Amino acid sequence: MDTAKIKKIIPRFSNAKILVIGDLILDEFVWGEVSRISPEAPVPVVWVKSESFMPGGAANVANNIASLGAKVYIAGVAGSDERAGILKEGLEEKGINIDGVITDDSRPTTLKTRVVANHQQVVRIDREKIEGISGAILDKIISYIKGVIDEMDAIVIEDYGKGVISARLLKEILTIAKKKKKIITVDPKEEHFSYYKGVTAITPNHHEAAKAVGMKVKDSESVLKIGKELLKKLNCEGVLVTLGENGMRLFQKKGAVTHIPTVAQEVFDVSGAGDTVISVFTLALAMGVNMKDAAYISNIAAGIVVGKVGIAVITQEELLEKISIKVKRQK
């Protein structure tokens, strides 16, 4: 990795325009402490100290990209409920353009409530509707995308399987994006891999990648076979497989396979780490960084975010500082 070059490119993230398309989620956090077990059932009693909301799903990817200085546009659906207001207000406060957020009166805004006590997640409660969106709502999303795509440097497809991402939507987006030579990256849902043929790059974890090709992850050799098979199956430029504590492995169309060891020193919370990976990876590609270096940078970013509690984001300053520390250790 040419660190001198990377250090010059990261500040240029502020010039990028990225369109994020996908499932919008509102993350609610209930923060507290546990001091005893309930006499009613063998479960901890959480003494609640505070509550907070954060954008999740595709909204968290948009938040990550915005935190790194880029201009972000987001397309998806939200309900007409109070949750939608909280989510939209939070996105606007972060400077994210929400003109592509379409109101769907027939579904609630997806809400995930996490109860965190003593720095550990105790339970998660999901409230959502995962059926596919209607044709009329899909038409509005596609119309919005067509209206802004010329301005974009890259497109992120964030598929959480909550109804926004469909075969038709991907077909429409890929047709337009390819004509306009736009970068398209995907954070996939394992049931939808057939939708993603021909994208620029995809960032599955090793479990998702394995299921996509009908194999099992047994060892390093099996990961190698899985990645190569997925690359061939999707006919994309790159497959970046995240391996948790074992880092990442990048498979490129031209035949190169690169293993990238993790840089995380302390892991408090892996929630949202995948969102950070695709955010930084896409931004780097949009700024002209080669795929291998883009993967290295996203790995460093993931190492920062898992050291934070809750759904977290990083800044240019944190990323530059971490790269500088990594370089010093290597000397």
pLDDT digits (tens, 9 = 90+) for 43-95: 999 999 999 999 999 999 999 999 999 999 999 999 999 999 999 999 999 99
Q: Is 4 exposed, middle or buried (0-12, 13-18, 19+ CB in 10 A)?
A: exposed
Task: State residue 264's pLDDT score.
Answer: 55
Distance, in Å, from the CA atom of 331 to the CA atom of 326, rounded to the nearest integer, reads: 9
Least confident of 123-132, 179-188, 276-285, 311-320: 311-320
Confidence of residue 268 (pLDDT cuts 50, 70, 90): very low
To the query of whether residue 275 is one of the catalytic residues in this protein, the response is: yes
DSSP state of 205: B
What are 166-199's pLDDT values in tens digits? 999 999 999 999 999 999 999 999 899 999 999 9
Is residue 111 over pLDDT 50? yes
* Share in percent of the chain as helix, strand, coil (round to 5): 45, 30, 30
**Choice among 104, 153, 275, 293 that is catalytic:** 275
Q: What is the mean pLDDT of the chain?
A: 91
Where b means 16+ CB within 10 Å and e means fewer, 74-109 reads bbbbbbebebbebbbebbeeeebbbebbbebeebbb
Average confidence (pLDDT) over 301-307:
82
Distance, in Å, from the CA atom of 153 to the CA atom of 65, rounded to the nearest integer, reads: 13
In Å, what is the CA distance from 240 to each residue of 136, 236, 321? 34, 11, 24
In Å, what is the CA distance from 275 to each residue of 42, 82, 150, 188, 197? 34, 25, 24, 11, 21
The sheet carrying 201-202 orders its strands as: 97-103, 71-78, 17-22, 154-158, 183-187, 201-202, 238-242, 248-252, 257-260
What sections of 219-272 are H helices per DSSP?
A: 220-234
Amino acid symbol at 296: Y
What's the CATH superfamily of 3-24+56-109+130-330? Ribokinase (3.40.1190.20)
Residue found under tokens 């479990």: 207
Distance, in Å, from the CA atom of 309 to the CA atom of 267, rounded to the nearest integer, reads: 9
Higher pLDDT, 324 or 83: 83
In Å, what is the CA distance from 319 to each residue of 28, 51, 61, 116, 241? 26, 28, 16, 27, 21
Task: State residue 323's pLDDT score.
Answer: 81
Rank 140-144, 215-219, 261-265 by mean pLDDT and report only the highest.
Answer: 140-144
What count of Cα atoms within 13 Å lies in the side-chain half-sphere of residue 307? Answer: 14
Is residue 311 over pLDDT 70? no
What are 226-264's pLDDT values in tens digits? 999 999 999 999 999 998 888 899 999 987 899 998 875
Is residue 309 over pLDDT 70? no
Encoded tokens for 303: 């190492």
Distance, in Å, from the CA atom of 7 to the CA atom of 253, rounded to the nearest integer, reads: 27
Distance, in Å, from the CA atom of 212 to the CA atom of 53, rounded to the nearest integer, reads: 33
Could you tell me which residues come within 8 angstroms of residue 112 by beta carbon, excluding any fewer than 6 positions away? 25, 26, 27, 28, 56, 124, 125, 126, 127, 128
| N-to-C CA span, the chain | 14
DSSP helix/strand/coil, 147:
helix
Is residue 306 over pLDDT 90? no
Q: pTM score, two decimals? A: 0.91
Distance, in Å, from the CA atom of 142 to the CA atom of 49, rounded to the nearest integer, reads: 43
> Which among 24, 256, 44, 52 is positioned nearest to 163, based on CA atoms?
24
Query: Long-range pairs for 242-246 at CB < 8 Å and ≥24 separation?
Result: 242/203, 242/204, 242/205, 242/206, 242/273, 242/274, 242/277, 242/302, 243/205, 243/206, 244/205, 244/206, 244/270
